[in-house]
Homo-oligomer: A and B are copies of this chain.
Amino acid sequence: MARYVFGVDVGGTTAKIGLLTEAGEKVEFWEIPTRTENNGEFILSDVAEAIRAKMKERNIDDSDVVGAGIGVPGAVNVDGLCYQAVNLGWEKINVVNELHSKLKLPVKAGNDANVAALGEAWKGGGQGYQNMLLVTLGTGVGGGIINEGKILAGSKGSGGEIGHINLEENEPDACGCGNHGCFEQYASATGAVRLANRILAASSEDSVLRQKEKFECKDIFDAAKAGDKVAKEIAERYGYYLGKGIAVTASVVNPEIIVLGGGVSKAGEMLFDLLMPSFNKFVFPGCKDVKFALAKLGNDAGVYGAAKMLLY
């Protein structure tokens, strides 16, 4: 008989929970609210209750369940120790121990970006690869490194947090992390808009982007696709930084495939054309032979990856 595994992806507003088979087939995915009050003290109890309720509803015995994996928005080391999760109200907490004490099933925990990378490696854009880099291009730049099929968590859970590698020594603006010149200051959605405003301010050339009071990252790529000259220049500059940041990371961990996810990745295949010249310029030749792909699982990646942690 097929055994089951649960995957949980906790966000600041809702927690996605998935019931899957060991083979990674989706049985049922649903959401519960994330209660952040009282420093998020109810979050893990709510998750445990939701899982127990689902098991009861479906007549699933403990012996039919491999366990539950959980991804949270904070640094989590290999033992499940989360150092802080600001959006959940958490200070230092061992997520594995806490959830296990409530759920009484085997538990694994990881950082949400790392867990999403594992999901993409299992059932998404990196399916079939044991060494993968996921680069998540959203409000910030996140990432996850899959090494020999497993998450590279790092000593304090910051493994794969590549958005803060330095790409520019002389960046005047500060990154959210306090440093100057971080990868995510250029390659995130907000970074793309920042680059755009700089390039627009430096010339008076006409552009559809000037006709909007406020434009978003998507507008830049749409305009570039439509042939807007300034937007193309912005997109190329964006690609330059994206390619460089990926090249540096790939030169450290030598992945077999690099998967692009997050909102900006909806720009699609054009991103590969934009990043490739810079990637090829900066990557160590021994790491050049790598595939590129787009993420496939969207917001479900974290649920898949959380479940997969139980199946190492």
Partner of A78, one of B129, B148, B182, B289: B148
Chain B positions within 8 Å of A152 at CB level: 147, 152, 253
Q: Check: A249 CB closer than 8 A to any chain B CB.
A: yes
Q: Check: A259 CB closer than 8 A to any chain B CB.
A: no
A59 to B107, CA, bound (A): 48
A-B contacts, 24 of them at CB < 8 A, read: A78-B148, A83-B286, A129-B155, A152-B152, A154-B254, A155-B254, A156-B254, A157-B286, A158-B254, A158-B284, A159-B254, A160-B252, A161-B287, A162-B251, A164-B285, A165-B248, A165-B251, A166-B247, A166-B248, A166-B282, A178-B285, A179-B281, A248-B248, A249-B252
Asked whether, in the complex, the Cβ of B177 is within 8 Å of the Cβ of A155, the reply is: no
6 A-B pairs with least C-beta separation: A154-B254, A155-B256, A164-B284, A158-B286, A131-B155, A158-B254
The answer to whether A161 and B286 touch (CB under 8 A), given A244-B166, A255-B154, is: yes
Report how many copies the assembly holds: 2
Asked whether, in the complex, the Cβ of A155 is within 8 Å of the Cβ of B179, the reply is: no
Asked whether, in the complex, the Cβ of B253 is within 8 Å of the Cβ of A159, the reply is: yes
Asked whether, in the complex, the Cβ of B252 is within 8 Å of the Cβ of A165, the reply is: yes
A290 to B156, CA, bound (A): 10
Q: Check: A75 CB closer than 8 A to any chain B CB.
A: yes
Q: Check: A127 CB closer than 8 A to any chain B CB.
A: no
Asked whether, in the complex, the Cβ of B158 is within 8 Å of the Cβ of A287, the reply is: yes
What's the nearest-Cβ distance from chain B to residue A155, in Å? 4
A162 to B165, CA, bound (A): 14
